[in-house]
Amino acid sequence: MTDQSPLISLRSVSRTYRTDGIAVTAVRNVSFDIAQGEIVAVMGPSGSGKSTLMNMIGLLDLPSEGAVHLEGANVAELTEDRRSSLRARSIGFVFQSYNLLARHDAIENVALPLVYCGVGRKARLARAEACLQSVGMLHRAHHFPRQLSGGEQQRVAIARALIASPLIVLADEPTGALDSRTGAEILALFAALNRTGQTIVMITHDPSIATQCRRTIRLHDGELVSDERVAELVPRRSAAS
């Protein structure tokens, strides 16, 4: 973590939805900053507001009250086009269900975000190769999702999240669909990426993820109940131990 201004800042953020005329507040008066180089777990049980918070951090949704700032800019004051552009450039998403396109091989899936950035095919594929290499999947570049294991698909999804060199990688339950051993491998990959300076926020209900992060933000019923930092991470035991 550095002394510079935070990448993401939430100030007194609340989000209220209306369902059948009834107002439901999913997130209530939440404030925190995320600095460059942090790896953070946002934890809470189902219904605690994690997904709503993720959507606001990822610029997919706006708060009903309060403000979300990305690199100092109040995202609510930006046009929708500008917000979409900022999201594509600044946020890399990793999902529990991988969200890979079945008709495209791994390298095409990874390169896809650059299509919307206007990058030429040759440059797209070169950058996709580098990203696949960084997650140990270059040897599977021309395999389709159905030919990949769950862990391999998640590695491809992480490579796709990295393709635009985002400020923040936002991972939603990234190990939820994986067995414990494969999940541990994915968490180790996130930790390795963080050591290179990549900022990572993981939305999860899994306590084991928190042991791999230096900071854990906990939600309950839409409210922030704790924001804890640890000096040392708990070593993860190998599968053989």
The pTM is what? 0.89
**Mean pLDDT, all residues of the chain:** 91
Tens digits of per-residue pLDDT, 143-195? 999 999 999 999 999 999 999 999 999 999 999 999 999 999 999 999 999 99
Where do we find the tokens 């990295």?
Answer: 162
Amino acid (1-letter code) at residue 198: Q
How far apart (Å, rounded) are the C-alpha atoms in residues 9 and 17? 22
pLDDT, residue 3, reads: 53
Write down the pLDDT at residue 233. Answer: 55
pLDDT of residue 117: 81
Q: What would the pLDDT profile of 28-41 be if each residue is shown by its tens digit?
A: 999 999 999 999 99
pLDDT band at 212 (very low <50, low <70, confident <90, very high): confident
Spatial distance between the Cα atoms of 18 and 64, rounded to a whole number of angstroms:
11
Q: Which structural domains are found in the chain, ordered by start?
A: 8-229 (3.40.50.300)
Side-chain-facing half-sphere of 41: CA atoms under 13 Å: 27
Strand order in the sheet with 39-43: 91-95, 168-172, 199-204, 39-43, 215-220, 223-229
Q: Provide the pLDDT for residue 209.
A: 85
- The dihedral through the CA atoms of 90, 195, 96, 130 has a sign that is positive
